Amino acid sequence: MVSDLNFEQRNNTNIQIRLLQMKHEFYEKLRNVENRYKNEIEDLTRRYEQMKVENDTLEKRLKE
């Protein structure tokens, strides 16, 4: 009986530990995804700004 209780407690503890590990892994993956998309958005924003400058330059040359 005591042995069964100890086994159940160990099992519950192992389950809790695994759930915490899974939670940590999930948040780590989430941070990685957030960083990837943040970097992609920043890259697209830089490209857009560069194209605006190039477009403005071309328009000025056409007006000359």
Domain carrying residue 1: 1-64
pTM of this structure: 0.63
> How many structural domains are present in the chain?
1
pLDDT in tens, 34-50: 999 999 999 999 999 99
Tokens of 15: 């389950």
Side-chain-side CA neighbours of residue 56 (13 Å): 6
pLDDT in tens, 14-30: 999 999 999 999 999 99
Is pLDDT of 2 > 70?
no
